[in-house]
Amino acid sequence: MMGSSQSFVLIILGFLFLVGYVAHKIGARTNIPRGTILLLLGLVAGPSVLDVIPHEAAEKFGIATRIALAMVGFLLGQRLGGKHFRKRGRVILWVSLVETLMTAALVFLALRASGWGWMLALLLASLAPASAPVSTIDVVYEGKAKGPLTDTVLGVVAIDDVWSVVLFSVALVGVEMMSGQGQLSMGFMAAFREIAGAGVVGGLLGFPMAHVTYKLKSEEPVLLMAAGFVFLCAGFAIAFHVSYLLASLVMGVVVANRARHRTRPFRDIGAVSEPFLAIFFLLAGFECEVKMLASLGVVGGIYILARSVGLVIGGTLGAWLAFAPRVVRSRVGWCLFPQAGITLGLALVVHERLPEVGAYILPIVIASAVVFELVGPMFTLWHLRRAGEL
């Protein structure tokens, strides 16, 4: 039985890696991001369509999605430190803050103008600005993108999750207080614990990692050290019930700012992240249900349209206020469409704290995330190509 179980895991794992390779080849020929292709393949192979992959296979590789997110968080930390942030920091902060506020405001006003209740409008508005760093960084690594637009986009999606947690916490506390179901201190303490806890875990591991990196010699195995710290960071964050994505991001920021050989751990983690990213997208598609798309309805359509407009206008306005280059002003908002990850987690919090509202919000968020994850990376890839940064 043990041998049979191990052979099953290895066969499925090999199959998933080969599917990832095929998706890469298809993407290179069709100019469709491989993340989108893998999502579609996972969706078709999943239980809602062909149901050709056993459900226990997806359960066995759930840890791979956490590893992928931890690696992505660490890689994004590089964009908020060192030369990247010194050069683009002002633009990144302006774009991220303005597009967050603009997107939330437009979604709220659009839903209220369409006659939807204020609780639904406020909570969906607070969820709207969050982006999906995994999809964005996969497009960048796939296309080997470099340039001002790339640096700005990666910096914005890195800091977006922080703004999103804060905005969502404020909105949820407001809804609970006005509906008489919550306490102000508890809501803000939850937000503080999520962000501060992730900062503590990432910082406590980031400084020793930077110290070790500082003393590295050219012949030493950097990957073993870097992977060890990334895994430790994710594990401790999960153990303390804080965001492992934010914790890994903080650790990456510390290393990018404190280490002498700061590029080597990021380069090596980026090189080994592809198998985990492939599994992440395939499992994300596997977990999707086609019937969820039918739950979008009018409110889902308004949400998708208002969020898209808010990101484009907010990104453009933020870049203009920061005196960013023209290529950033005209394209950055279009590169921020992908949405998943933390958004789904926050929607689950709504479902837990406010079951009646959450039961309506959760399917809308899941269905819209599928749409944005399928279409968003194609917008990102197209605009990076038009900017000449691939």
How high is the pLDDT of residue 307? 93
Q: Write the class of the CATH domain 75-273+286-386.
A: mainly alpha
How high is the pLDDT of residue 98? 93
How high is the pLDDT of residue 2? 47
d(CA 360, CA 363): 6
What are the pLDDT digits (tens) for 229-267? Answer: 999 998 998 888 887 878 888 898 888 888 766 677 888
- Reported confidence tier of residue 316, pLDDT bands at 50, 70, 90: very high
Rg (CA), the chain: 20
Task: Answer yes or no: is pLDDT of 324 > 80.
Answer: yes
How high is the pLDDT of residue 67? 85
Report DSSP state, residue 260: S
Give, in order, the Cα–Cα distances in Å from 348 to each of 73, 120, 333, 364.
21, 14, 27, 12
Phi-psi region of 132 (alpha: psi -120 to 50; beta: other; left: phi over 0): beta
Domain boundaries, the chain: 75-273+286-386
Task: Answer yes or no: is pLDDT of 36 > 70.
Answer: yes
d(CA 352, CA 373): 25
How high is the pLDDT of residue 1? 46
Give, in order, the Cα–Cα distances in Å from 263 to each of 89, 156, 275, 369.
18, 20, 21, 33
Q: Is the model more confident about 159 or about 220?
A: 159
d(CA 7, CA 1): 10
How high is the pLDDT of residue 383? 92
- Provide the percentage of residues in the chain whose pLDDT is more than 90: 15
How high is the pLDDT of residue 320? 93
The mean-pLDDT minimum among 44-48, 71-75, 157-161, 272-276 falls in 44-48
CB crowding 146-183: b at 16 or more within 10 Å, else e: ebbbbbbbbbbbbbbbbbbbbbbbebbbbbbeeeeebe
Nearest to 23 by CA among 34, 39, 12: 34
Give, in order, the Cα–Cα distances in Å from 103 to each of 19, 131, 167, 234, 298.
36, 11, 12, 30, 18
- Reported confidence tier of residue 104, pLDDT bands at 50, 70, 90: very high
- Reported confidence tier of residue 225, pLDDT bands at 50, 70, 90: confident
- Reported confidence tier of residue 80, pLDDT bands at 50, 70, 90: confident
Average pLDDT, the chain: 80
The structure tokens listed for 315 are: 């990104």
Q: Is the model more confident about 165 or about 294?
A: 165
Q: Are residues 108 and 171 in contact, defined by beta-carbon separation less than 8 angstroms?
A: no
